[in-house]
Amino acid sequence: MLFSSITFLYYFLPIVIILYLLSPSKLKNTVILISSLVFYGWGEPKFLPLIISTILIGYGLGLLMETTKSKAAKNILVAFLVVISLGILGYYKYTDFFISTVNGVLGKDIPLLHMALPIGISFYTFQMMSYVIDVYRGDVKAQKNIINLAAYIVMFPQLIAGPIVRYKDIELSLTSRNHSLNKISCGIRRFSIGLGKKVLIANTLGLLVEAYKVTEAPSVIYVWLYAIAASLQIYFDFSGYSDMAIGLGSLFGFNFPENFDYPYVSESVTEFWRRWHMTLGQWFRDYLYIPLGGNRVTKIRWIFNIFVVWMATGLWHGASWNFVIWGLYFVVLLMLEKLVLLEQLKKTKVIGHLYLISLVIISFVIFDGEDIHDSLSNITMMFGFGNVPVWTMESVFMLINYGTVLLIAIIGAAGLPALGIKKLCENKSTSKYINILEPIFIGLLLIICTGFLVNGSFNPFLYFRF
Amino acid sequence: MSDKARNIVNIVVAALIIFGLSLFSLIDEDKDWSYSERRGLAKFPEVSLSGIFAPPGKTSVMNEFETYFQDQFPMRESFRQINAVGSTYLLGKKENNNLCLTDDYITKLEYNINEDSVEWSLNRINYITDNYLADSSVYFAIIPDKNYYLSGKAGYITYDYDEFIDKFRDSTRDKMTFVDLRDQLGIKNYYYTDTHWKQETLLGVTDLLLYTMTGKGFAENTDNTILCETLLTDSFEGVYYSQLALPVKKDSIMYMTGHYVDDLKAYCYDTGAPEKIDVYDKVKGSGEDPYQMFLTGSRALITIENPNATEDRELIVFRDSFGSSIAPLLAGGYSKVTLVDIRYISPAMIGRFVDFEGRDVLFLYSSQILNNSVGQFNN
């Protein structure tokens, strides 16, 4: 079930809110757990046993970890956790990639398994792992109440596309949380904005991306339009989803971590990755990069650590060579920056910004390609080497047709509307008008988004495949 | 407004919309048919275990519910209009649901020549010609889409109609005479909100076709008393009207009548035996799809007999829906016109029902059909 669907907005959500409001405090997590299982089972009923197994593994390992005194035994439990978690993830996500790679390299013809990827497996597996590892490290106590732990792992607002919420971030809220008018109102505002980002902007840009993919008349202008649209679509899709998740969390009394901080205003790739999918970056930093030694090691080892983290980041996003190359691309850029470029980029902000935008757009062409050949073909065309005309009638029409939404998306991604509203709110004379306009804006946004959803426009979430 | 008051109003507004529409959907009666999309709406799904655990590739009950909720959403048409207005005026899109609005005319955006479709269309035309038309005079005319007349002006894109028409003309040059309608038609010959041409503007086209096929124009073939009557005034919502979902100018629907038209006798053979039908079905003209008033809409095989014909000459027209409106005018030049729609009858079967020997044969198709014939033209 998608947040941006009629089913979720007008059937699932109202029922869950009513049940949640009617239930006493001690049953609220049960309501969240059951509704989350329904939410998950709605799309993937056959994978319910898998997600329940994940809960049981996390619960059992957490308790065992806390009661085990021996360091060696704890290490074995962590090793078991890593093997079983990554084993399940690897089995569902990477088996066919592995087989096709073996087939390609060795010239074999081993049949692919064509397994369906359980929705959100990368997210909930990482959440479960972080919980057990935090118990191992003594950062949190094991959760004795399985309902509370299960509610954390499968909580529907962040179950299938993040943000990756760490147990220690909401440990207290699981047992005691407050619901205030302000929190609910902020949640509604955040959810509505996220819905608008997804439905109005990401989905509309998605139409341009899809149109390019089936065009019979590619051109240099068209491929650039595609590349810019794809980069903005991924941002608005994913950050819109994160906004909706954070907003829903707020409605139910939780504070989820931020996942995006206007990444396109960055002036270096290093800064970009501090602002993009922040919870994934933090996860890899705390559970992979630092355990590997971080940057407090020899230079060679440090380069190796960055390589491992970015290979993992690439593969986390998907089982294809595109994502491997995408990860490698960032390894090279981050190394270049850390060793040479970063100081220079700080001196020249405009160049830094242009440099970042160009490289990120190319990265998303790699990311979005059907395969590596497709991505390379598009990148070649972008720089005029693809034996295609500079422009065609179709590309000009697409520019006219999607020009306004591209402009809105660029302004939005630059954070200008948020900056403007913040300034107006800080000014006493204008803040009262903002307070009047806000409910009107929310109402209109919900109504317009409903119109778009009823019309059944293009609507898949890109991050579901992770 | 204080922050607290704003918070309360935010919650009330969101709750009213979400809970209000949710409740409304529970009490609102399910609808069977979407007029705007010309399709049946999803019904409440049957819940079963096999439906819940549907194998890959099969539609699950949950998918059926998603479609059902979307189809039966309260005030669905109003929300579709909100979508159209939002797309057009908020996001600045030039097309909505693949439809463009130019000078009050709604056109379907189509900017690629579908080579597979061109090949399939030619395949069917050649099959009919090779198997049935050895002793016939054969003619071919293509009706350009509205885009042909609008796209340059509006800056919208369309495919190269000249190239498209040349593909057909060049491939059929040895077998039939091509009648070029491009200069005879203009945008005023088409409805604003519908894909079709307007019968009351087709005397020029009729004249050209009849002159090419019979050597006499429309007036020379008939008693020249033809009148135009109006069935609907500014209330005809063509097939694109509701699809576009924007408030736009509606059409009037008119038809040509007169002494010779009144005497025409039309028969449909879709059930085997001849069934007399109206040349202009005014009941259908006042129904959901008024263009179906012309020869009662989609039919596989129709004949029109003209007792006032000056010559005993027959015409067979392979046609799409555009043919329905021009056929009563073409009948002015013939004693009998037979209309064949190979979307509803296989070309392999036609020989059983139609005698082609010595007849004039006209292939009259809209470019839209020829560019989308795969899956439409029968084997």
Triad A224, A278, A263: Cα angle to 5°? 35
Mean pLDDT of the residues in chain B: 90
pLDDT of amino acid B228: 86
* 3 state DSSP class of B80: helix
Residue of A114, A277, A317, A353 marked active site = A317
**For residue A231, what are its two tokens?**
């980069």
pLDDT band at A466 (very low <50, low <70, confident <90, very high): very low
pLDDT band at A456 (very low <50, low <70, confident <90, very high): confident
Check if the beta carbon of residue A275 is closer than 8 Å to that of residue A262.
Answer: yes
Give me the residue from A43, A185, A455 closest to B10, CB to CB. Answer: A185
**What pLDDT digit, counting tens, does each position of B363-375 carry?**
999 999 999 988 7
Mean pLDDT of the residues in chain A: 90
How many other C-beta atoms can be found within 10 angstroms of the C-beta atom of residue A116? 10
- Chain A positions touching B92 (Cβ under 8 A) are 403-405
Question: How far B119 CA sits from the closest chain A CA (Å)?
Answer: 17
**For residue A190, what are its two tokens?**
């955040």
Which helix or strand (DSSP H or E) is residue B22 part of? helix B3-27
Residue with the larger pLDDT of the pair B100 and B141 = B141
Amino acid of residue A406? L
Tell whether the model's pLDDT for residue A255 goes beyond 80.
yes
Check if the beta carbon of residue A280 is closer than 8 Å to that of residue A316.
Answer: yes
Q: Where are the domains of chain A?
A: 6-177, 183-465
How far is C-alpha B251 from the geometric centre of its chain's CA atoms? 15
pLDDT of amino acid A180: 92
* Contacts for A152 with CB less than 8 Å, ≥ 6 apart: A127, A131, A143, A165, A167, A170, A174
Mean pLDDT computed over B221-240 = 81
Note which residues in 72-101 of chain B have CB less than 8 A from chain A.
73, 76, 79-84, 86-87, 90-95, 97
Give me the residue from B12, B80, B95 closest to A455, CB to CB. Answer: B80
Instruction: Report the C-alpha gap between A184 and A253 in whole angstroms.
Output: 8
Instruction: Report the C-alpha gap between A305 and B177 in whole angstroms.
Output: 75
Residue of A nearest to B15 (CA): A14
Tell whether the model's pLDDT for residue A463 goes beyond 60.
no
Instruction: Report the C-alpha gap between B75 and B25 in whole angstroms.
Output: 9
Contact B86 A452 (CB under 8 A): yes
Question: How far A11 CA sits from the closest chain B CA (Å)?
Answer: 6
Q: Where are the domains of chain B?
A: 3-102, 112-370
**What pLDDT digit, counting tens, does each position of B69-87 carry?**
988 999 998 999 999 999 9
* Contacts for A296 with CB less than 8 Å, ≥ 6 apart: none
**For residue B371, what are its two tokens?**
């560019």
pLDDT of amino acid A134: 93
Note which residues in 156-185 of chain B have CB less than 8 A from chain A.
156-157
pLDDT of amino acid B154: 58
Check if the beta carbon of residue A53 is closer than 8 Å to that of residue A87.
Answer: no
Contact B69 A455 (CB under 8 A): no
Mean pLDDT computed over B228-251 = 88
Instruction: Report the C-alpha gap between B26 and B30 in whole angstroms.
Output: 9
Q: Where are the beta strands (DSSP E) in B98-225?
A: 99-102, 105-108, 137-143, 177-179
Among B353, B373, B350, B284, which Cα is nearest to B129's?
B350
Amino acid of residue B183? D
Which ipTM value was assigned to this complex? 0.87
Question: How far A182 CA sits from the closest chain B CA (Å)?
Answer: 6
Q: Does A192 touch chain B (CB under 8 A)?
A: yes
pLDDT of amino acid A362: 95
Tell whether the model's pLDDT for residue A130 goes beyond 70.
yes
**What pLDDT digit, counting tens, does each position of B27-56 carry?**
989 988 887 777 788 888 888 888 888 877
C-alpha distances in Å from residue B94, one per residue of A338, A400, B87, B152: 46, 7, 8, 15
Mean pLDDT computed over A69-90 = 91
A114 is catalytic: no
pLDDT band at A399 (very low <50, low <70, confident <90, very high): very high
pLDDT of amino acid A216: 85
Triad A286, A290, A291: Cα angle to 5°? 100
Tell whether the model's pLDDT for residue A10 goes beyond 60.
yes
**What pLDDT digit, counting tens, does each position of B190-201 carry?**
999 999 999 999
* Contacts for A350 with CB less than 8 Å, ≥ 6 apart: none
- Chain A positions touching B10 (Cβ under 8 A) are 185, 188-189, 438-439, 442
**A425, A455, A457: best mutation site toward chain B, by most B Cβ within 10 Å?**
A455
**For residue B176, what are its two tokens?**
């039939």
Which sign does the torsion angle of CA B186, B188, B189, B193 carry? positive
Mean pLDDT computed over B241-270 = 90
Instruction: Report the C-alpha gap between B158 and B94 in whole angstroms.
Output: 14
- Chain B positions touching A451 (Cβ under 8 A) are 79-83, 86
Give me the residue from B2, B79, B94 closest to A454, CB to CB. Answer: B79
Check if the beta carbon of residue A187 is closer than 8 Å to that of residue A165.
Answer: no
How many other C-beta atoms can be found within 10 angstroms of the C-beta atom of residue B179? 19
Mean pLDDT computed over B110-127 = 92
* Peptide bond preceding A460 in cis form (omega within 30 of 0): no
Tell whether the model's pLDDT for residue B98 goes beyond 90.
no
Instruction: Report the C-alpha gap between A398 and A208 in whole angstroms.
Output: 7
Note which residues in 239-268 of chain B have CB less than 8 A from chain A.
245
Contact A443 B76 (CB under 8 A): no
Residue of B nearest to A451 (CA): B79
Mean pLDDT computed over A3-29 = 94
Check if the beta carbon of residue A262 is closer than 8 Å to that of residue A274.
Answer: no
Measured distance between the N- and C-terminal CA atoms of chain B, rounded to whole angstroms: 70
Contact A454 B5 (CB under 8 A): no
**What values do phi and psi take at B39, rounded to 5?**
-150, 160
Mean pLDDT computed over B87-116 = 89
Among A47, A31, A39, which Cα is nearest to A11's?
A39
Give me the sheet containing B99-102, strands edge to edge.
Answer: B95-96, B99-102, B105-108
- Chain B positions touching A450 (Cβ under 8 A) are 17, 21, 73, 79, 82
pTM for the whole structure:
0.86
Mean pLDDT computed over A155-174 = 88
Mean pLDDT computed over A160-179 = 88
**A251, A391, A450: best mutation site toward chain B, by most B Cβ within 10 Å?**
A450
**In sequence order, what are the beta bridge partners of B339?**
B302, B317
Instruction: Report the C-alpha gap between A410 and A425 in whole angstroms.
Output: 23
Placement of tokens 């998950």 in the chain: A40
pLDDT of amino acid B310: 84
Check if the beta carbon of residue B302 is closer than 8 Å to that of residue B315.
Answer: no
Instruction: Report the C-alpha gap between A152 and A167 in whole angstroms.
Output: 7
Burial of A266 (0-12, 13-18, 19+ CB in 10 A): buried
- Chain B positions touching A436 (Cβ under 8 A) are 1, 6
**What pLDDT digit, counting tens, does each position of A266-317 carry?**
999 999 999 999 999 999 999 999 999 988 889 899 999 999 999 999 988 8
Contact A181 B17 (CB under 8 A): no
- Chain A positions touching B86 (Cβ under 8 A) are 200, 448, 451-452
pLDDT of amino acid A459: 44
